[in-house]
């Protein structure tokens, strides 16, 4: 590598644009060596000195304050720092209680430092009569201040540190700890790296961008993220580094999108023909909502643009996405293309099939169904009809991907409730044709805008933000288990009025025996409280045979069954307008988004509907917050934002997370929405002027984007 030029031309390097010192192998850093370097690589992905400087503290402690011993009276402080002289040592106890005690004093009093482990190591390092700065959690024992396993540093070596105030704490792993790379050792290494690199750090963001967004320079940011002088400098450092990270992600996403749009031509749907028009004029049972119209217009625009549509349609449960899907598919058919609608479960696929057939009755559109239970004989015939183009619309589950179904002329793929489909499954769909079909992904999981922008930055987003008219808002109530009888009374009343009821049990994993036991016990309890033949109760869950599930669903849909006991398989898409009560058992075990999805199963007709959240009598603070939020609002987006705040994006339903094909080192999607918005806007502005970042003045940004492209590679393999 060419040291003179700083070797910045290579955009594949991990930390472009920094002088070679930062690209030095970490093993050459003083205090590291081969063995520790291997550990750092493996455990933290730290290969170079620069990587280490991008390994940020996960929290900070205030080291500016020195307490006097007398001042510490109780255990209310998490950490204290004292400056005291060692006046004596003592070995005490035996066996597991064996400990080493150093007695210290300052001008105001005495304290004990206690070690249970690593005694011989610490003993060698402490010197009687010397003054140390001691840092640890205060506990009291027999009225005496004790610090167990404190950090101890001689006041002499303390002066060499670049920090005076807030000190970073670095997260470590068991392996690192065993290799003597604990928090403190990492801190020391960072100090070493810093003194080595300080003079060589070059900016990664253009001057103008820094100015416009009131950001500090990289050098200052790196110094302050590791060795902040105060809260304010830490805040500035964080802002700057988060912005850089989010800008890198956005640029890489948007560049990739640009490449995709250029690469793939799109099928053209210019004609609004007989099928669309006749459906609209003769069949549409109600006027479209404004939001539905808008989204259909957006899809129209995409499908005449000459580029492949890649659109995410978000709409709260019950907002009428199915109709948008249907009308888009008719558009495809009118232009001589086939369309395909994929649902995450067989139940839902069947339901879509029934709904579409009903709505399209008498129109020249051939709709067929392909699921895991489609018989072999039918498959053979159906395959032929797809290849000949006789079938216009295919509805199915992911079985149709697994079975490698072939079309004659597939122009549009709609994926319902996308969070159930992994990225990989989407990939297989895409690769089906030479020219990829337009893709519409529909989801009722209200993905907060910030998250959608990052997860689906390569998709355009449409939102149905309006429910069909005449819906009464669902009333949500929270009851503790001890009030179950009251709830049963209420249910009886509704059933007497002719309504139907869902009772849902949490099912965290399809395989969890415990959950099924809950459900079975629950079912037994329900049939006791609601005995047949007066009441008919059906059960539907994931472990049942498809045919049994189907039968249960049918009884409920036709109104024969009053109560449906189910696991969260019914979470997605079931439509029974006469069902007005949704009882969610152990509601504290569900996430907010999931609760909201379940609630959306009721409130679909003209009657007042209710959602009853049952919970244990004891609740954690988070659970209480979640349930209270459900009672308070019906707004899915607000709940999703809150969910993101409470749980962080990592916990938003597992598959959402898997869309995030890179880790963020410092930004937090739950909290940094504003910075993300700024970064997104900046990225859009920059690319509007220079779509491929080819201009010289954008070289830094091109390198920044490349750094994140590597991390996102997995996410894109699917659309190339
Ligand atoms: P989701 O968006 O959850 O998939 P659906 O498409 O299942 O919602 O629609 C929910 C219900 O609302 C269905 O019964 C559907 O017939 C009805 N619906 C859809 N659009 C309208 C509309 N514009 N006016 C009145 N009802 C509508
Ligand atoms: Mg739906």
More confident residue, 452 or 291: 291
Average pLDDT, the chain: 84
What is the tens place of the pLDDT at every residue in 100-117? 999 999 999 999 999 988
Residues 372 and 481 in one domain: no
- Ligand 1, atom 10, lies closest to the CA of 318
- Worst-scoring range by mean pLDDT, 7-21, 127-141, 498-512, 593-607? 7-21
Residues 514 and 612 in one domain: yes
pLDDT at 605 over 90: no
Percentages helix, strand, coil for the chain, rounded to the nearest 5? 45, 20, 35
pLDDT at 2 over 80: no
Residues 85 and 19 in one domain: no
- Please give the span between the terminal C-alpha atoms of the chain, in angstroms, as a whole number: 32
Name the burial class of residue 348, with classes exposed (0-12), middle (13-18) and buried (19+) by CB atoms within 10 angstroms of its CB: buried
Q: Nearest to residue 316, comparing CAs of 636, 689, 580?
A: 636
**Other Cβ atoms within 10 Å of 719 Cβ, number:** 21
Task: Please give the distance, rounded to the nearest whole angstrom, from the Cα atom of residue 318 to the centre of ligand 1.
Answer: 5
pLDDT at 215 over 90: yes
pLDDT at 645 over 50: yes
**Per-residue confidence (pLDDT) for residue 108, from 0 to 100:** 95
More confident residue, 495 or 674: 495
Spatial distance between the Cα atoms of 488 and 468, rounded to a whole number of angstroms:
31
Is residue 315 domain-resident?
no
- Ligand 1, atom 26, lies closest to the CA of 468
More confident residue, 453 or 353: 353
What is the tens place of the pLDDT at every residue in 381-426? 999 999 999 999 999 988 888 788 889 999 999 988 755 444 444 5
List all residues 6 or more positions away from 693 whose beta carbon is below 8 Å from its beta carbon. Answer: 251, 255, 686, 687, 699, 701, 702, 705
Please say whether the beta carbons of 280 and 330 come within 8 A.
no
For residue 318 and ligand 1, the question of a CB distance below 6 A is answered with yes
Residue 306 gets the label, from left (phi > 0), alpha (psi -120 to 50) or beta, of left
- Ligand 1, atom 24, lies closest to the CA of 468
- Ligand 1, atom 1, lies closest to the CA of 318
Task: Please give the distance, rounded to the nearest whole angstrom, from the Cα atom of residue 575 to the centre of ligand 1.
Answer: 9
* Percent of the chain clearing pLDDT 70 (strictly above): 85
> Any idea what the CATH number is for the domain that residue 544 is in?
3.40.50.300
For residue 317 and ligand 1, the question of a CB distance below 6 A is answered with yes
Protein residues near ligand 2, an ion, with CB under 5 A: 573
User: Which mutation among 317, 322, 634 tests ligand 1's pocket best, with the greatest number of atoms within 8 A of CB?
Assistant: 322
Is residue 180 domain-resident?
yes
Spatial distance between the Cα atoms of 320 and 323, rounded to a whole number of angstroms:
6
Residues 5 and 38 in one domain: yes
* Percent of the chain clearing pLDDT 90 (strictly above): 47
Task: Please give the distance, rounded to the nearest whole angstrom, from the Cα atom of residue 288 to the centre of ligand 1.
Answer: 9
Residues 58 and 84 in one domain: no
* Final residue before a domain boundary, out of 607, 633, 659: 633
What is the tens place of the pLDDT at every residue in 242-267? 999 999 988 988 888 787 777 767 88
Residues 34 and 95 in one domain: no
The residue segments making up the domain with residue 84 are: 79-153
Residues 119 and 145 in one domain: yes
Tokens of 387: 């290849």
Please say whether the beta carbons of 181 and 39 come within 8 A.
yes
Task: Please give the distance, rounded to the nearest whole angstrom, from the Cα atom of residue 482 to the centre of ligand 2.
Answer: 35
Task: Please give the distance, rounded to the nearest whole angstrom, from the Cα atom of residue 222 to the centre of ligand 2.
Answer: 48
Residues 280 and 330 in one domain: yes
Residues 43 and 184 in one domain: yes
**Other Cβ atoms within 10 Å of 222 Cβ, number:** 24
**Per-residue confidence (pLDDT) for residue 424, from 0 to 100:** 44
Q: Nearest to residue 328, comparing CAs of 253, 215, 411, 205?
A: 411
For residue 320 and ligand 1, the question of a CB distance below 6 A is answered with yes
* Final residue before a domain boundary, out of 633, 654, 674: 633
Residues 293 and 373 in one domain: yes
For residue 286 and ligand 1, the question of a CB distance below 6 A is answered with yes
Task: Please give the distance, rounded to the nearest whole angstrom, from the Cα atom of residue 307 to the centre of ligand 2.
Answer: 27
Tokens of 112: 């004990």
> Any idea what the CATH number is for the domain that residue 107 is in?
2.40.50.140
What is the tens place of the pLDDT at every residue in 473-511? 999 999 999 999 999 999 999 999 999 999 998 865 555
- DSSP secondary structure code for residue 650 in this structure: G
Task: Please give the distance, rounded to the nearest whole angstrom, from the Cα atom of residue 321 to the centre of ligand 1.
Answer: 7
**Per-residue confidence (pLDDT) for residue 146, from 0 to 100:** 95
Is residue 647 domain-resident?
no
- Worst-scoring range by mean pLDDT, 191-195, 430-434, 629-633? 430-434
**pLDDT band for position 453 (50/70/90)?**
low
Q: Kindly give the number of the ligand 1 atom that is closest to the alpha carbon of 325.
A: 6
CA angle 347, 351, 357 (to 5 degrees): 150
**pLDDT band for position 3 (50/70/90)?**
very low
Spatial distance between the Cα atoms of 55 and 64, rounded to a whole number of angstroms:
23
What's the whole-number mean pLDDT along residues 216-231? 92
**Other Cβ atoms within 10 Å of 520 Cβ, number:** 14
- Worst-scoring range by mean pLDDT, 283-287, 451-455, 587-591, 669-673? 451-455
**Per-residue confidence (pLDDT) for residue 55, from 0 to 100:** 94
CA Rg, the chain, in Å?
31
What is the tens place of the pLDDT at every residue in 136-183? 889 998 889 999 989 888 776 655 555 556 778 898 888 888 888 888
Is residue 499 domain-resident?
yes
Q: Kindly give the number of the ligand 1 atom that is closest to the alpha carbon of 604.
A: 11
**Per-residue confidence (pLDDT) for residue 630, from 0 to 100:** 95
What's the whole-number mean pLDDT along residues 519-541? 90
Task: Please give the distance, rounded to the nearest whole angstrom, from the Cα atom of residue 319 to the centre of ligand 1.
Answer: 6
pLDDT at 49 over 80: yes
Residues 295 and 177 in one domain: no
Is residue 214 domain-resident?
no
**Per-residue confidence (pLDDT) for residue 1, from 0 to 100:** 34
For residue 289 and ligand 1, the question of a CB distance below 6 A is answered with yes
pLDDT at 6 over 50: no
Is residue 558 domain-resident?
yes
Can you name the residues that pair with 363 across neighbouring β-strands? none
Is residue 169 domain-resident?
yes
Q: Kindly give the number of the ligand 1 atom that is closest to the alpha carbon of 464.
A: 2
* Final residue before a domain boundary, out of 577, 599, 633: 633
Is residue 551 domain-resident?
yes
Residues 573 and 601 in one domain: yes
**Per-residue confidence (pLDDT) for residue 158, from 0 to 100:** 57
How many structural domains does the chain have? 4
596: helix, strand or coil = helix
pLDDT at 521 over 90: no
| Ligand found nearest the CA of 324 | 1
């Amino acid at each position: 590598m060419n040291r003179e030029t700083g070797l910045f031309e290579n955009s594949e390097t991990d930390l472009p644009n920094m002088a070679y010192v930062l690209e030095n192998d970490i093993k050459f850093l003083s205090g590291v060596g081969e063995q520790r370097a291997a550990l750092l690589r493996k455990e933290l992905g730290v290969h170079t000195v620069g990587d280490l400087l991008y390994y940020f503290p996960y929290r900070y402690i205030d080291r500016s304050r020195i307490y006097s011993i007398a001042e510490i009276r109780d255990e209310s402080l998490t950490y204290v720092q004292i400056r005291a002289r060692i006046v004596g040592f003592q070995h005490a106890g035996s066996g597991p209680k064996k400990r080493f005690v150093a007695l210290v004093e300052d001008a105001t009093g005495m304290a004990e430092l206690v070690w249970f482990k690593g005694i011989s190591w610490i003993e060698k390092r402490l010197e009687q009569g010397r003054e140390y700065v001691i840092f640890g959690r205060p506990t009291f024992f027999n009225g005496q201040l004790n610090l167990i396993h404190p950090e101890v540093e001689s006041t002499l070596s303390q002066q060499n540190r670049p920090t005076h105030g807030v000190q970073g704490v670095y997260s470590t792993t068991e392996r690192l700890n065993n290799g003597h790379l604990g928090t403190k050792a990492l801190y020391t290494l960072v100090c070493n790296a810093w003194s080595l690199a300080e003079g060589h750090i070059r900016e990664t963001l253009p001057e103008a961008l820094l100015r416009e967004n009131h950001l500090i320079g990289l050098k200052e940011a790196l110094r302050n993220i590791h060795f902040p002088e105060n809260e304010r400098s830490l805040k500035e450092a964080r802002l700057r580094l988060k912005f850089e990270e989010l800008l890198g992600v956005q640029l890489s996403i948007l560049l990739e999108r640009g490449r995709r749009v250029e690469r793939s031509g799109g099928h053209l749907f210019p004609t609004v023909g007989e099928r669309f028009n006749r459906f609209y004029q003769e069949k549409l049972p109600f006027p479209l909502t404004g939001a539905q119209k808008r989204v259909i217009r957006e899809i129209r625009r995409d499908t005449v643009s000459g580029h492949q549509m890649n659109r995410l349609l978000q709409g709260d449960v019950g907002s009428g996405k199915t109709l948008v899907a249907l009308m888009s598919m008719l558009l495809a058919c009118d232009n001589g293309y086939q369309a395909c609608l994929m649902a995450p479960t067989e139940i839902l696929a069947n339901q879509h099939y029934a709904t579409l057939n009903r709505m399209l009755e008498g129109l020249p559109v051939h709709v067929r169904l392909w699921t895991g239970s489609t018989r072999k004989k039918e498959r053979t015939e159906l395959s032929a009809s797809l290849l000949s183009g006789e079938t216009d619309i295919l509805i199915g589950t992911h079985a149709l991907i697994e079975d490698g179904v072939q079309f004659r002329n597939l122009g549009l793929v709609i994926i319902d409730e996308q969070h159930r489909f992994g990225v990989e499954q989407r990939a297989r769909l895409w690769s089906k044709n030479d020219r990829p079909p337009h893709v519409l992904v529909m989801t009722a999981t209200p993905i907060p805008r910030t998250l959608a922008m990052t997860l689906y930055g390569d998709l355009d987003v449409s939102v149905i933000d309006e429910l069909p008219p005449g819906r009464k808002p669902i009333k949500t109530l929270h009851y503790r288990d001890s009030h179950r009888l009251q709830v049963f009374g209420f249910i009886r009343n509704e059933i007497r009025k002719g309504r139907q009821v869902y009772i849902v049990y949490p099912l965290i994993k399809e395989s969890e025996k415990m959950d099924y036991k809950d459900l079975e016990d629950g079912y037994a309890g329900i049939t006791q409280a609601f005995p047949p033949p007066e009441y008919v109760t059906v059960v539907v869950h994931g472990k049942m045979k498809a045919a049994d599930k189907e039968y249960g669903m049918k009884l409920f849909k036709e109104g024969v069954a009053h109560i449906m006991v189910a696991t969260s398989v019914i979470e997605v898409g079931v439509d029974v307008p006469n069902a007005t009560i949704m009882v969610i058992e152990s509601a504290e075990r569900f996430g907010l988004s999931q609760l909201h999805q379940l609630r959306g199963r009721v409130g679909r007709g003209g009657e007042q509907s209710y959602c009853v959240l049952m919970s244990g009598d004891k609740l954690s603070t988070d659970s209480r917050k979640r349930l209270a939020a459900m009672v308070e609002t019906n707004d899915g987006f607000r709940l999703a934002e809150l969910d993101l705040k409470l749980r962080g994006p990592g916990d938003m339903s597992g598959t959402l997370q898997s869309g995030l094909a890179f880790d963020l080192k410092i930004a937090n999607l739950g909290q940094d929405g504003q910075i993300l918005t700024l970064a997104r806007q900046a990225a859009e502005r920059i690319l509007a002027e220079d779509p491929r970042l080819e201009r010289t003045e954008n070289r830094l940004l091109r390198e920044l984007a490349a750094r994140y492209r590597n991390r996102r590679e997995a996410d894109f393999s699917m659309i190339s």
